[in-house]
Amino acid sequence: MPAAKPLTDHASSKQWTVVDDRMKAEIARRKPKPADVGRAREIAATLRREFPDAKCALNFKTPFQLLIATILSAQCTDERVNQVTPGLFRKYKTPKAFAAAPEGELEEDIRTTGFFNAKAKSLRACCQTLVDDFAGVVPNRIEDLITLRGAARKTANVVRMHGFQYPGLSVDTHFTRIMHRLKLTKEFDPEKIEFDIGALLPPDDWTSFATTVIAHGRKTCHARNPKCDACPIQKLCPNAFKAQGNPRRV
Ligand code: SF4
């Protein structure tokens, strides 16, 4: 097991300058225990070694395509979204095209992703805002991204992380479950979880941590019956074995 990294000053992280002001303020308020900082960094390093090629599971070529795919991925699998988006992006190439999509037609085009009426409404409104307020270009600041309909902090983070290579922590149900099992947060609100984990790890590690945790959840730390006996971070997990075979325990 590698030695824990010393507590790093976040501001010395190369990507600190592109961290949003709210995250900076939340990190400044938090005083994590050094033991948790060391454990979180060992977990991050171990998962990076375990999943060196982990990446966003959504297919896209531009930040705009990623934004659309991420909005569609709510309550839907990435695989299903990836089946829908190639045809969608051939048909609607720009924010203007999505904003002007005929009533009923866009809904039909995205029907298989579920909640298609609400998602179509979000896509039209989001793209109209892109046209009206951002000259048709996806912004890279969280403060701007969260003004787009259908894009809360999680979506904004996904777009920044994978569309712009900025640091980010996208918090979904899988990330939440694993952070609770690892006892790295007590929070249930996704934003508070993001800030708790942001205080434990330097920004340069955020994106790889979020991506590798998702990969770990898919391969080993399943919602039901996590494979604790085959887990690479078992020694760093307070819930090891307690979780196994007892999904209600965590
Ligand atoms: S030891 Fe078990 S509960 Fe802990 S992270 Fe690994 S698989 Fe998940």
pLDDT number for residue 4: 43
Domain ranges of the chain: 16-51+170-249, 63-137
Q: Is 46 in the pocket of ligand 1 (CB under 6 A)?
A: no
pLDDT number for residue 241: 67
pLDDT number for residue 27: 93
Taking only the tens place, the pLDDT of each residue in 115-155 is 999 999 999 999 999 999 999 999 999 999 999 999 999 99
Integer CA distances (angstroms), 235 to 40, 138, 160, 218, in order: 12, 42, 32, 19
Determine which one of 20, 109, 119, 154 is catalytic: 154
DSSP 27: H
Q: What gap in Å lies between CA 55 and CA 15, rounded to an integer?
A: 19
Instruction: Tell me which residue of 126, 223, 219 sits closest to 172, measured CA to CA.
Output: 223
Q: Is 237 in the pocket of ligand 1 (CB under 6 A)?
A: yes
**Cα of 89 to ligand 1 centre, how many Å?**
39
pLDDT number for residue 55: 94
Instruction: Tell me which residue of 89, 206, 249, 188 sits closest to 197, measured CA to CA.
Output: 206
pTM equals: 0.90
**What residues of the chain score a pLDDT lower than 70?**
1-8, 241-250
- Whether 172 sits among the annotated catalytic residues: the reply is yes
> Which architecture, in CATH terms, is 63-137?
Orthogonal Bundle (1.10)
Q: What gap in Å lies between CA 13 and CA 8, rounded to an integer?
A: 8
**Cα of 227 to ligand 1 centre, how many Å?**
7
pLDDT number for residue 14: 86
DSSP 159: I
Q: What gap in Å lies between CA 166 and CA 108, rounded to an integer?
A: 34
Determine which one of 36, 78, 144, 172 is catalytic: 172
pLDDT number for residue 10: 86
pLDDT number for residue 11: 82
Q: Is 19 in the pocket of ligand 1 (CB under 6 A)?
A: no
Q: What gap in Å lies between CA 73 and CA 151, rounded to an integer?
A: 11
**Residues 199/193, Cβ–Cβ less than 8 Å:** no
Say which CATH class 16-51+170-249 falls into. Answer: mainly alpha
